[in-house]
Amino acid sequence: MKRKKAPKKSARPVQNLELPTWQSKATLARLLSRIEARDLTLRKTLLPALAKASGNARTVGITGPPGVGKSTMIASLVGHLRKAGKTVAVLAVDPSSPFTGGALLGDRVRMQEYALDAGVFIRSSGTRGHTGGVALSTRECLMALDAAGFDVVLVESAGVGQTEWDIRKLVQTTVVLLGPESGDGIQLMKAGLMEIADVFVVNKADLPGSDRLLAELRAWVEGGAGGGHWIPPALPVQAQAGRGMEELWKALETHAKFLTESPTGRDRQRDARRLELLEILEERLAERLSILWKSAKARKVAADLTDRVIDPYAAADRLERLLPRT
């Protein structure tokens, strides 16, 4: 039996829909602010358009303990990429900072040499206090930068708490940056930084102790090798002197190839897409629930619950049926 095609409701063309491009930094900056403010009007128009236009950027997350040299290394890597003619966007995520300045100010000073470079866009965002908002708004900012046409999008995130796991979900490749002062392998395992790395980088190779850490990382990596899985390389760099960036970029290219050409790599990309869908749905359901929760109907159900007219399970059943459409 043939099914009748339903009339397309969403096929209406969107008026004045202007996608940002990497050449228009001011427009892009305004868009990112609206995304971070969870501007719901973007959802029907701009976000789907951005999603369609995205998927071409190379996205790399860089995480590691504070002070290890993430910002310094990103500045060096940006320099390397610019020489190769690539446009680069940098998104610095610091959920512990309530401002988009504060803790990241030092980074900005270091990044100042790129202020006049049209091919580099730098954005800091502090997203504290938005439940679940870190992942979703960062994801959408990344998507916007991708859609704007940057060749490479780098995300800096402080390796504290859950942040590094949040970032790993959003990027193709995760770099864990460590230094001789980061402690030994056992401490790193405890910090949860070992499992998320696609590439290990030991910075401050000019300082004593970096060789030992590098050897430890390589031994650890080899212990878990096999089964068609990606084996994270461990590379030494001197971020401040700009040494090791070519080797780092090569390692990142190798990982990109693994993602597209190996079955495990493709599985990972498929899982990432499904997770994105789940997060979008979760945000929508949470919104519908919060609308219902503030309504008179919900107060009535809550009152019945208080009076013991119904039990909490029956109350939940009733509320579930009352969930508003969006």
Binding residues for Mg ion, per CB under 5 A? 70-71, 107
Contact pick of 63, 124, 127, 203 for ligand GDP (by CB under 6 A): 203
Tokens standing for residue 168: 């790993």
Tokens standing for residue 280: 């979008």
Please state, as a whole number, how many other Cβ atoms lie within 10 Å of the Cβ of residue 64.
27
Q: In whole angstroms, how close is the CB of 228 to ligand GDP at the nearest point?
A: 33
- Tell me, by CB under 6 A, how many residues bind ligand GDP: 16
Please state, as a whole number, how many other Cβ atoms lie within 10 Å of the Cβ of residue 29.
12
| Binding flags for ligand GDP, 240-279, as an x/- string (CB under 6 A) | x---------------------------------------
Q: In whole angstroms, how close is the CB of 106 to ligand GDP at the nearest point?
A: 6
Name the binder of 68 from ligand GDP, Mg ion, none, CB < 5-8 A by kind.
ligand GDP
- Stretch of 42-50, 69-77, 81-89, 162-170 lying at the interface with ligand GDP (CB under 6 A): 69-77
Is there a contact between 258 and 198 (Cβ–Cβ < 8 Å)?
no
Question: Would you say 67 or 224 has its CB closer to ligand GDP?
Answer: 67
Question: Would you say 47 or 175 has its CB closer to ligand GDP?
Answer: 175
Question: Would you say 54 or 157 has its CB closer to ligand GDP?
Answer: 157
Q: Order of strands across the sheet with 120-125? A: 120-125, 88-93, 152-158, 58-64, 173-178, 199-202, 234-236
Question: Would you say 57 or 90 has its CB closer to ligand GDP?
Answer: 90
Within 8 A by CB and 6+ apart from 255, the residues are 172, 173, 198, 199, 230
Contact pick of 57, 60, 68, 188 for ligand GDP (by CB under 6 A): 68
Work out whether 127 is an interface residue with ligand GDP (CB under 6 A). no
Work out whether 161 is an interface residue with ligand GDP (CB under 6 A). no
Question: Would you say 47 or 188 has its CB closer to ligand GDP?
Answer: 188
Q: In whole angstroms, how close is the CB of 240 to ligand GDP at the nearest point?
A: 4
Name the binder of 95 from ligand GDP, Mg ion, none, CB < 5-8 A by kind.
none
Work out whether 139 is an interface residue with ligand GDP (CB under 6 A). no
Q: Is the dihedral of CA 132, 138, 141, 142 positive or negative?
A: negative
Q: In whole angstroms, how close is the CB of 148 to ligand GDP at the nearest point?
A: 24
DSSP string, 28-65: HHHHHHHHHTT-GGGTTTHHHHHHHH-S-SEEEEEEES
Largest CA-CA distance found in the chain, in angstroms, rounded:
74
For 63, 66, 83, 140, the CA distances from 74, given in Å and listed in that order, are 11, 14, 14, 21
Within 8 A by CB and 6+ apart from 272, the residues are 169
Pairing of strands 88-93, 152-158: parallel
Work out whether 167 is an interface residue with ligand GDP (CB under 6 A). no
What is the C-alpha separation between 198 and 255, in angstroms, rounded?
A: 8
Q: In whole angstroms, how close is the CB of 69 to ligand GDP at the nearest point?
A: 3
| Binding flags for ligand GDP, 75-114, as an x/- string (CB under 6 A) | -------------------------------x--------
Question: Would you say 90 or 259 has its CB closer to ligand GDP?
Answer: 90
For 30, 131, 281, the CA distances from 286, given in Å and listed in that order, are 26, 11, 8
Name the binder of 142 from Mg ion, ligand GDP, none, CB < 5-8 A by kind.
none
List residues binding ligand GDP (CB under 6 A).
Answer: 64, 66-72, 106, 203-204, 206-207, 238-240
